[in-house]
Structure formats: C-alpha cells, structure tokens
Structure 1
Amino acid sequence: MALFFVNGATFATWGVHIPTIKARFGLSDAMLSFAMLAVAGGAILAMGPVGRWVARLGSGRASMLGGVAFALCTLGILAMPAFTLLLPMLLLFGMTNAAFDVAMNAQAATVEASRPRPVMSALHGMFSLGGMAGAAFGGLMLTLGVPPLAHAAMIAAMTALTAVGVAGGLLADHPAMPTTDHHHRAHASRALWLLGLMAFLGLVGEGAMYDWTAVYMRDVADAPLGWISFGYATFSGGMACGRFGGDLLRARLGDARTLTGSAWLGFAGIALAIAAPWPVPTLIGFSLMGLGAANMVPIFFVAASRLPGVTAAEGIARVARFAYVGLLLGPVLIGGVAHLANLRFGLAVVAVTMGVIALFGARAARRYLTPR
C-alpha cells in the first residue's frame, strides 16, 4: 500500500509542475505536448525490457530499485537547466515509472496469490489516493511559494525512503507455472493479446475522461465556472471508491462478472452524460464511469500474472504496454471525433469501448479470469 501511495503522489508531482515547466522554458502548447509524449513514450518503450528485468531480479528488489530511480528522475525534471536536457530526463522518468509500476504490480500479484481474499483493487485505490494527496500537497507548496526543486526533493526523498524502507517486508515471487507444451505457450500468448486489447479499450476511456471532462462540463453541459473542475473530481472520486470496494465484489462475484458489471456501469454513466448534457446528470454520469473503470486494470493485471509459462512481471508488462497506449491515444481519439462532429459524439467513443468490454471482453477472457 505504501509503494502504491508514493507512486501516485510522485506522478502527481510531475502533473502539478507541468505549468512550471511550460513557463520556465517558454514552451508552446505543441512543445509541451511533445514533452508530455516523452513520458508516455518512455514508459511504452521500456515495458518489454522491464518485464524481463523484474522477472530476473524479483519484484521485491525491483520495487526498491525502481522506486529510488523514479524518485531521482522526479527530482531531475525540476533540476534541468535547458529544454534539450529536459526531454531525455522525461524519457527516463517514463521508463523508471514503468519499472516501478510493473515491479510493484508484480509484487501485488504475489501478495494477492498468498492471501485468501483479493487485495489488488485496494492497492490501486492507494495509488489514486496518493495521486490526490500529491496534487493537494503540490497545490499547497505552490501557494506557500516553495521553490519547485525543493518540493520535488521532498517528494523524491519520501518515495526513495519508502521504497528502501519496505523492501525487507516484501515477498519472494512465486515461480511461474512451468510449461514446455507448445499449445500452452500459444494459449498464454493469445491470452496476453486478449487481455492487452481489453486493457487498451479500458484505458482509452479512462484517458479520455482525465483530459476531456472539464471541457465537456464547460462546452456541452454549460456548467457554471465553479463547477467545471467537478467533472474530473467526480470521475476520480468514483475511481477511488470503486477500487476500495472492488475487492469485496471480486471475492463475491469473481473477476469475470465484476468486469462485465463494471463495463455496463461505465457505459450507463457515459450514456447518461450524453443523453442529459446538463451539469447534475453529467456529474452523476462521470461518477458512474469512474466506478465502472476502477477495477478493470487490477483485474487485467491479476489475470496476466496467473498465466502458465509466463512470469507475473512479464505478463503484467505486456498488458500494461497496451494500457499505456490506450491512455495515450484515448484523448487524441476523442479530440479527433469531436473535431469532426462534436464532443458528445467524441464521448460516445468511450461508451462504445465500455460496451465492447461488457458484451465481448469478459466472455472471451472468462477462462483467464477468476470465476465465482
């Protein structure tokens, strides 16, 4: 829980200081987008090697090293004196984030496999909680006029000390179920592609919600100025609540039924926001979408960690790569549709992704998900 919390808080620190970076180097919106793309690109490029690295080193030790490296890169971003040096640092930031992310999720899969009841959703809830805490603390530091480098140093120290401090309490990874059968290996490969595709669809919707909720509240729902940020807040709040309650659902219903119900809930939320584009119904719809999206990634990661012949780290890394691509392309895809039609049509793409997962995803992947 501590590792997930500091990961969320550290990544939020980068988000808080995006305007700082833009102002310091006088970046245009296009150049700022390029800088943000470097973070996502670094994570996507690193996913393959990272999975093998974590599997070889063990998720406990990799969590410690990945957390310390991620902390140092967070500090490095705010220390760069020139934009030409910032870009490679952002690439490293994305890579170390991927290493920390895969390692702690592989460790989480080991912890869940060692317990009688699921815990993965609650751990992802701690990531959401850490993100909210990191953003709130960053806002306080900006209000108090604390220099950005000093703020980054505080967060980096917290993350590095946590990663080192908890390392001794982490578990040894369970060995991958061995298989030399070609049929089993092909089965595992198909499973990873299928889980990755579902993760891609799920994160297309999630990424779109992060970037487009405020715009939808302002331009479509005609919300008052003070309500515009509530769209993001209700979606994030729904995500946090859904994750902290998700393990109970997974234990009672199983992963397959939880996934199907979650996807239908997300579909209903977006449908409500599109059909009733006024502030209150839209906020209710966004909160339902948050509840629906909350447990998708935890379920996909757990399923990927249990495939025969594949280590937990490698399975999670393969699925996470698809997820990162979806998170990156989601906002762009919705923006393109909105440009050609309008934002209500753009948001309908999110409803379609949820509907596809609800209708076909869980049914197709049922053999890889925990039944009840």
Structure 2
Amino acid sequence: MTNITSTDTHITAGMRQARVALFIVFFAQGLGFGSLFARLPTVKATFEFSDSTLALMTLALPLMAGAATLVTGSLVQRIHSDTLLRWAIVANLTGLVLIGFANSFAMLILAWIVMGVAFGMVDATMNMKAVALQQRYRRSIVVGFYAIYSAAGIVASLAAAFTAQAGLPLWVFFGAEFIVLVPLLLWTGRSLVHARVGGAGAADPAAAARTAPARVTVPWLPVLSIGVVLTSAYFIESSASSWGSVYVHDTLAAPESIAALAYGGYSAAMLIGRLSADWLIRAFGAKRVIQVCALIALAGMLAVVFATAPWMALAGFALAGGGLCVIAPLAFAAAGTIDDTGVAVARANTFTYVGFLLGAALIGPIADLSSMRIAYMISVVLAVVILFLARGLAARIEGAEQPA
C-alpha cells in the first residue's frame, strides 16, 4: 500500500515552481482579507456607519464569497483553473484598492462586490490546486499552504496597526499591497499549470493547455460529510474570533488587555501547528494526526466552557486553534478524492462560509437568551462531531492512495 506519506514520487522542477506560486497566492489571499478586516474601523469612520450597518457589510462579504465558490465549481469545467485563479486574485486585490479609493457609498458597494466575488473564486481555485498538487507529490503538503495563509493574517494585522498609527489613508495601504503582489502573482502564476486540476492536466501540463476541461457531473452526497466537518471547524473559528474576547471579558471578568489575547492565542497556536503538520502527517499518517488534533480541539473547547479563570479560557482557545490546524486542509484533501475536476473541492469550500456565518451570528443571541458558557457548548458539540468524522476523512485520503 502506498499512502500519502510516501516520498518516492519524482518531484519535478515544475511541481516545485507550482508550489512556490501557490504559497504566494495563499499569502496574497490571507494578506488582502486580513488587511481589510484589520482596517474596518477606518471604513466605518469614513462612511459614518453604525455598528449594525458595518455588521451587515462584514456578513455580506462571506455570503458573496460562498456563492462565488459554487459558481467556480462550474467555471473550472469551462475555464482552466490556473487562468481563473490568476485573474481572480488580481480582481480580488483590485477590489481591495477600490475600497481604499471609495469616496461614495455606491463606489464602496461596487468594490465590496468585486472583492467578495473574487475572494470566493480565489478561495475555491487555490484549494483545488493545492489538493491537486498534493496528489502529484503523493505526500502531505497542503497544510503548509494554510500556514502561509495564517502568517499572512498576522502580517496584515501588524501592517494595519502601523499604517493606522502613521495616519496613512486606506488607498496607500491597500495600493502598496497591490503594487507589490500583483506583478509577483502574474509572474509566478504561469507555474500554476503544473498544479492543474484533472488527470490530463496533472500528468502533462503542456497537453492540458491545449485541451478544454471536461464537463462532468459530481454528486453532492459524498461532499456533505466533509461539509459538516468544515462547517463545524469554521463555526468554532468564527466563535473564537468574533466572541472569544467578549467571553473572557464578560464571563471571566478579565481586563480588555487580557481578553484581547483570546483570538491571538488561537491564531498563534494554529500557525505553529500548521508549520509542523505536514511533517507530522508524513511521519505518523493522516489518520493518527487528524484524530489527535480533533481530540486536542475538543479538550480546548471544554476548557473554554468550564474555565474558572481567564488563563484557563485563553489556554482553551489556544488548544482549539492548535487542534483545528489540520482539519480544513485535510478536509479539502478528502474532497479532492471524490473527483479529479475540482468541483467537489469547490462545493466543500462553500461550507466554510456557512460555518463562519453561523459562528458569528448565533453565539451572541444564544448568550442573550442563556449565557455565553451555554452558547459555547455548541462549539463543544461541533468539536465532538469533528472527532467522530475525522477518521472517515483520513480513510478517504489514505484509501485514495492505494494502487488500483
């Protein structure tokens, strides 16, 4: 049996170039998204939005992105994935710059739509290509792309803090990212052909460039269990990012300076875990790693719910972040075994936005009706769901690597 931890597959220069190109795409995607959300207070002040209006705007972005991922599943059967990804990432960063230049609400809405739709297309296609490239490598590399994405979010936060402190307008901040990233993306984007989705494209990039993508029908049912895992994981992440500091501050009476560390600890632990996860998967196998990580995530959320002191909740959030670090990447890898067109990966990607929206929207109202501890019990239950389904994900990944 050959599994995903094997290292005997010949790795070509083109495959290495594609991997570098995808690292840059994941970094650009994380930097753009993180930069926008880090500077939302400036957007709010510029347009004099109320809290409710800003909340609607922030919810609209993942809604548009989620819809775009579904469309992308059909588009990749008509337009080659590397072409779609290259232009979608440019459109995404263009939308970000337009937000910086917006001097009217109408212009802001237009820019918001451009970025939301393009973000969803990039999200779907970069995951398709990461999974396709991993299948060519025949060893785990996909979690490393997510480490780059996580690191980009931290860089975006620090850069946003610096530019805000310096009083730089949004168009300067976002424009600088565009000027640096777009030429780099267009230059390295040619290498994405070596991570093309589909059997023909993977085996012979030159032949794939001359061949139109095949149109296939991919059933939804096999995607649903993977979608449940992704919804659960992103619900927990969204509940940590949107409500973690509120929980530590209001329920455990921590000062804001301490409460603010809730999501920071979650993100830092996730980044650290992702930096080492591919090596661990190659060393111990996907099944063992994903089951242990699911247990760690469950332990973390239990610590959050039953915390009697702020440090316990902070440790719980960190454990949850470290445990969930592999869940989404391996879920996409599992989706990639359903078909070789990328459609299943695009469909699975939609569930990430479902989880994100539910986590942000449900914790607060449930806490108002009961308490924040009870609201966070949802995350505990979803961690159990992930643990229950984790073995199936790993079995699908490792089973796909068996020779026919």
Decide: shared fold, TM above 0.5.
Answer: yes
Q: Distance in 2 between matches of 1:128 and 1:366?
A: 23
2:184 alignment partner in structure 1: 162
Matched, 1:30 2:48: no
What count of residue pairs does the alignment treat as equivalent? Answer: 362
Q: Secondary structure at the match of 1:117?
A: coil
TM-score (norm 2): 0.85
Q: 1:122 to 1:363 in 2, by over 3 A?
A: closer
Per-residue Cα deviation, 1:94-129 (whole angstroms, up to 9, x for no partner): 110011112222221122112142111111010000
Matched, 1:370 2:398: yes
CA RMSD of aligned residues (A): 2.0
Shift of 1:185: 7.1
- Which structure 1 residue ranges, 5 or more long, are not aligned? 178-183
The one of 91, 96, 99 aligned to 2:113: 91
Q: Distance in 1 between matches of 2:191 and 2:369?
A: 53
2:213 alignment partner in structure 1: none
Q: Distance in 1 between matches of 2:166 and 2:104?
A: 26
Shift of 1:24: 1.0
Q: Is the 8 A contact 1:10 1:159 kept in 2?
A: no
TM-score (norm 1): 0.92
Q: Is the 8 A contact 1:220 1:277 kept in 2?
A: no
The one of 240, 243, 252 aligned to 1:209: 240
The one of 369, 382, 392 aligned to 1:353: 382
The one of 196, 205, 218 aligned to 2:249: 218
2:347 alignment partner in structure 1: 318
Q: Distance in 1 between matches of 2:398 and 2:224?
A: 18
Per-residue Cα deviation, 1:162-187 (whole angstroms, up to 9, x for no partner): 2202112221525259xxxxxx978x
Q: Is the 8 A contact 2:81 2:197 kept in 1?
A: no
Q: Is the 8 A contact 1:257 1:362 kept in 2?
A: no
Q: Distance in 1 between matches of 2:77 and 2:282?
A: 27
Per-residue Cα deviation, 1:287-345 (whole angstroms, up to 9, x for no partner): 1000111111101111111213x512x11110011111111111211112211111111
2:159 alignment partner in structure 1: 137
Matched, 1:7 2:37: no
Q: Distance in 1 between matches of 2:322 and 2:160?
A: 26
Q: 1:317 to 1:113 in 2, by over 3 A?
A: same
Q: Distance in 2 between matches of 1:166 and 1:339?
A: 49
1:194 alignment partner in structure 2: 225
The one of 173, 176, 181 aligned to 2:196: 173
Matched, 1:47 2:69: yes
Shift of 1:254: 3.3
Q: Secondary structure at the match of 2:137?
A: coil
Show the 5 A alignment for 1:46-65.
46-65=68-87
The one of 357, 366, 369 aligned to 1:337: 366
Q: Specify the code of the residue in structure 1 equivalent to 2:173.
A: H
Q: Distance in 2 between matches of 1:126 and 1:59?
A: 21
Q: Distance in 1 between matches of 2:233 and 2:70?
A: 21
Q: Percent identity?
A: 25
Q: Distance in 1 between matches of 2:48 and 2:268?
A: 34
Q: Secondary structure at the match of 1:329?
A: helix
The farther-off stretch of 21-30 and 45-54 is 45-54
1:240 alignment partner in structure 2: 271
Q: Secondary structure at the match of 1:369?
A: helix
